[in-house]
Amino acid sequence: MDPVRQAAALSVLAGGANAPRVAPHNLEAEQALLGAVLVSNACFDACADAVDAEDFHQPVHGRIWAACGALIEAGVTADAITLKARFDDDEALGKIGGAGYLVRLASSAVSLVNARDYAVQVRDLARRRGLIRVAEAAVAQGYDFDDQRAAPALIEGVEAELSALADRAAGEAASFAATIDQAVSLAEAAWRRDGRVAGVATGLGELDAMLGGLQPGDLIVCAGRPGMGKTAMGTTVALNAARAGHGVFYASLEMPAWQIAQRFVSGVSGVALHRMRAGTLDAGAFDAMEDARAELHRLPIALDGTPNLTVPAIRARARRALRRLGTVTPGLIVVDHGGLIRASDEARKWNPVAQLEETSAGLKAMAKTLAVPVLALWQLNRAVEARDDKRPSLADIRGSGSIEQDADAVLFLYREAYYLARHKPKREGAALAEWSADMAAVANRCDVIVAKQRNGPLGEVELGFDARTARFWTRGQASLGEGETRR
């Protein structure tokens, strides 16, 4: 990058070319905090959740904090004497007084209550310095015309850094008592709902009864072979959630946005997808599609068809979209599908399993960070097709070890009709009659196999499924005809 442009960019942040601003810090607060720990190691445990070694502006202070933690963890008292041996060869400490500096730190000790205040201040100043670093890097990248990345990629990178900074600044963990109160309150709220689920309802009664709804912070993996209805499940749940007032961010990494939008229109209007694509429409179909268009315009759904996204990019886009939609919480994120998420440059140096491990861990972290359920659609490997029994299991997910570890629930979609249709007898007779009866029994059925659920039972749920309009419904309700809608 041209040094003149870089200097001009950074001078904007520095308040002019003459005197750059000093990064925010408070050495006295750092010294007082360290002194409190050296006098009473209990201060370290009281403040360790609020501040890390890298939060100290003075690097040697960060090393002293880390050394205190290591000694305390080993059951050794951390004081000026035990630290001296660790810092005899530390040139930076030697320049400011060596062992004598450690003694002076102890003499500047404060009370436990004040130590906590100083720890919070040290952390806050570190976050401010982090914000400055991100901003300076953003300005420098903006002026760097040699950088071949497109502007949206640069923006997403900055958003990912800001998101990571915001995560670190989220504050201390809630007290155990407060968490217990929350758990009891949620149970009471569930009782008051008189059978209605917490979190985000899928709108599919039997499935909601088994899952208890999609909970904030949960990663729900919905997997199946091609043709099982994964995308239809994603659009059905997204539609039902939006109708209930939840904001929905739908990331389609496989299909362009307009194809997903067609599925939403087909699902709401009841007009078959193949008719929409072939143009074999009549006045009734157009009327139904116009009604669907009007409803969908009102729903809080953000649809992103950008391919090849990373988890940080999805998180940044979802955070923006859900904030813009401004709906009841929690929102919902649908990722279609997880196997197409691009791994980081570092993960791509390793094998595909390591990349999937990064993806599943990243999706779970996104659910926790944004406090929303994440429904990740996933494609099963071909091993299912080679078996006589084609009902899937956890072993059929590529990289299943990481999925089992990270997902709060794993659902499999299985449609017997899909496989039965491939074996239709070619001649009239008893065999064809038997096939037709079997086909009629399963034609509009999809089995949802709950193979893993961290906080609930395992089992199967039978749902209605219409491949023509890519929509699911609760089994027992009548199948919808063309042009009909169900709310």
Looking up residue 21, the CATH number of its domain turns out to be 1.10.860.10
> Is the residue at 181 inside a domain?
no
Q: Are residues 26 and 118 in the same domain?
A: yes
Which H/E stretch holds residue 126? helix 112-143
- Tell me, yes or no, whether 441 lies in a domain: yes
pLDDT higher than 50, residue 93: yes
For residues 379, 381, 386, 387, the Cα torsion angle rounded to the nearest 10 degrees is -70
Q: Is 363 exposed, middle or buried (0-12, 13-18, 19+ CB in 10 A)?
A: buried
- Which secondary structure element, helix H or strand E, spans residue 133, and what is its range? helix 112-143
- 482 in a structural domain: no
27 within some domain: yes
pLDDT on residue 1: 45
Let me know whether 137 and 227 are in one domain: no
pLDDT for res 77: 86
Boundary residue ending a domain (168, 201, 233): 168
Quick check: 418 and 400 in contact, CB under 8 A?
A: no
Shared domain check, 141 and 88: yes
Residues 278 and 413 in one domain: yes
- Shared domain check, 372 and 256: yes
CATH of the domain at 197: 3.40.50.300
How far is it, in rounded angstroms, from Cα 128 to Cα 126? 5
How far apart are alpha carbons 274 and 291 in whole angstroms?
19
User: Which residue, 106, 138, 168, sits at the end of a domain?
Assistant: 168
Q: What is the pTM of this model?
A: 0.67
The verdict on 199 and 245 lying in the same domain is: yes
DSSP string, 336-379: E-GGGPPPPTTGGGS-HHHHHHHHHHHHHHHHHHHTS-EEEEEE
Q: Are residues 144 and 63 in the same domain?
A: yes
Are residues 255 and 336 both part of a single domain?
yes
- Domain span at residue 439? 190-474
**Residues forming beta bridges with residue 250, ordered by sequence position:** 303, 334
- The 3-state DSSP class for residue 122 equals helix
Task: Name the pLDDT band for 486 (thresholds 50, 70, 90).
Answer: very low
Same domain, residue pair 227 and 156? no
pLDDT (mean) for 351-361: 79
Structural domain includes residue 176? no
Q: How far from chain centre, in Å, is Cα 58?
A: 35
Same domain, 412 and 452: yes
Closest CA to 293 of 250, 271, 264: 264
Element of type H or E holding 460: strand 459-466
Tens-place pLDDT, residues 228-279? 889 999 999 999 999 998 999 999 998 888 888 888 888 888 888 888 888 8
Residue 168 and residue 365 in contact, taking contact as beta carbons nearer than 8 Å: no
Q: Name the least confident of 26-35, 236-245, 259-268, 377-386.
A: 377-386
Residue 321 binned pLDDT confidence (cut-offs 50, 70, 90): confident
User: Would you say residue 483 lies in a domain?
Assistant: no
- 385 to 224, 390, 419, 444, 467: CA distances (angstroms): 11, 6, 10, 21, 20
> How many domains, the chain?
2
Domain end residue (candidates: 137, 168, 199): 168
Q: Going by DSSP bridges, is the β-strand pair 459-466/445-453 parallel, antiparallel, or unpaired?
A: antiparallel
- What tens digit of pLDDT does each residue of 50-92 get? 788 889 998 889 888 888 888 887 778 888 888 887 777 777 7
- Residue 169's contacts (CB-CB under 8 Å, 6 or more residues apart) are 123, 124, 127
Reported as a single tens digit per residue, the pLDDT across 138-174 is 888 888 877 777 787 788 778 777 777 776 655 555 5
**Are 44 and 137 found together in one domain?**
yes
For residue 430, tell me if it sits in a domain.
Answer: yes
Check whether residue 444 and residue 297 sit in a common domain.
yes
Q: Would 178 be classed as within a structural domain?
A: no
